[in-house]
Amino acid sequence: MTWNIYFGASLLPLFNALPAQIPFRVTEVFRQFLATNFPMRAKAIARIIKLKNPDIIGLQEAAIWKLIPPNSNVVEYDFIKILLCELNKLGLCYKVAILNNNFEGTLPSSSNNLVSLHDRDVILVREYSEIEIIKRQEANFVNNLVVDVGGFPITILHGWSYIDACFRGTIFRLLNTHLEVNDENIQIAQANELISGPGNTAFPLFFIGDFNANANDGSITYENLISAGFKDVWDISGVGDGFTCCQDNDLLNAFSTLSTRIDLILVKNFVDLDVIRVTVVGDKDSDKTKTKLWPSDHASVVAEFNIGQYC
């Protein structure tokens, strides 16, 4: 499973804001985060995960938000901890196999608090599965977007992480990533880093994540990945349009507005890979929270494979 679980707010109001505007923009962004209610969304996400029960999950935007008052305790929203807790309530035990730390920043709000956001991507593995992890590695991209926030250059750091694992006698590599959305040239460079870096292996490969590259619209990033030998499992066994992005920023749109296919599961180097089924989840009205929020601004892609035999 791959799922961008959404910061809960758009960060665009911060970009190119004047210094005097920053506290008000921070308050605007943080209020949207509170309104999209990740603890409530995590219950819906956990419920969907239980229905699919994947062995491995790659999450993007698995953030930590902090509200830092001047003379009081910090209020923290750790998406990974919150989601693992909700999964545990449903009898599911997942562990963090590896995570990569991306950009992090702290800014003042107009209410005299500080607000901190730390972006992370994570690979979760279901405990008691047959997955045996052999190696773990993570890194940030060399090429990253730099934006102006209050007159200061801020690097929007993205990255990747992978596990090498064994399942029923087959060793494979699974990589989770989130590519840049606001600059196509940087996105292309990041994908090329994946192809020449962790993708340069003889192991069977799964590349999963939010690639921000529309698979149905001639994206250069997507075409470069396909030219490098990757196959899109949606083209093998997906049914329907496979759209995964995007719902409204406030997650309150009554009808789904998903219209692009940018969350992908790609494979390479498999001699005999049986793709049983590929589905999109988190895109139906029944997937919403009790308060009618979408679980995320993205839908999730889930693929089921037969990849090996017992030795």
What's the distance, Cα to Cα, between the start and end of the chain in Å? 26
Question: What pLDDT, on a 0 to 100 scale, did the predictor assign at position 271?
Answer: 81
Mean pLDDT, rounded, for 277-290: 97
pLDDT for the residue 309? 52
For 17-34, what is each residue's pLDDT tens digit?
999 999 999 999 999 999
Question: Quick check: is 176 in a domain?
Answer: yes
Lookup: tokens for 48: 């969907």
Look up residue 263 and give its amino acid. Answer: D
Separation of alpha carbons 22 and 128, rounded Å: 47
Q: Identify whether 311 is part of a domain.
A: no
Interatomic CA distance for residues 70 and 66, integer angstroms: 13
Amino acid at 250: D
Digit-coded pLDDT (tens) for 220-262: 999 999 999 999 999 999 989 999 999 999 999 999 999 999 9
pLDDT of 82-116, one tens digit each? Answer: 999 999 999 999 999 999 999 999 999 999 999 99
Q: Which domain holds residue 68?
A: 2-305
Beta-ladder partners of 171: 166
The chain-wide mean pLDDT, for the chain, equals: 96
Q: How many domains does the chain have?
A: 1
Domain contains 114? yes
Tens digits of per-residue pLDDT, 294-305? 999 999 999 999
pLDDT for position 14: 96
Task: Tell me the per-residue pLDDT of 125-156, one tens digit each, with 9 for 90 and over.
Answer: 999 898 999 999 999 999 999 999 999 999 99
Residue 98 lies in a domain: yes
Whole-model pTM: value is 0.96
When pLDDT is averaged across residues 60-66 and rounded to a whole number, the result is: 98
Give Dmax (Cα) for the chain: 65
Spatial separation of the C-alpha atoms in residues 180 and 251, rounded to whole Å: 22
- 310 pLDDT higher than 70: no
Give a yes or no: residue 186 inside a domain.
yes
310 in a structural domain: no
Is the Cβ–Cβ distance between 146 and 153 less than 8 Å? Answer: yes
Q: Which residues face 288 on adjacent strands?
A: none
pLDDT of residue 69 exceeding 60: yes
CATH number of the domain bearing residue 152: 3.60.10.10
Q: List, as one string, the DSSP characters of 177-195.
A: EE--SS-HHHHHHHHHHHH
| Residue at 174 is within a domain | yes
Whether residue 72 contacts residue 131, with contact meaning beta carbons closer than 8 Å, is answered with: no
Q: Is 100 helix (H, G, I), strand (E, B) or coil?
A: strand
- Chain segment 80-89, per-residue pLDDT in tens: 999 999 999 9
pLDDT digits (tens, 9 = 90+) for 27-62: 999 999 999 999 999 999 999 999 999 999 999 999
Q: Distance of CA 60 to CAs 3, 24, 57, 170, Å?
A: 6, 27, 10, 26
Q: Is residue 311 scored above 80 in pLDDT?
A: no
Bridge partners (DSSP) listed for residue 49? none
Q: What is the pLDDT of residue 308?
A: 63
Given this model, what pLDDT does residue 307 score? 80
Residue-level pLDDT at 239: 86
256 located within any domain: yes
Alpha-carbon span 286 to 74, nearest angstrom: 35
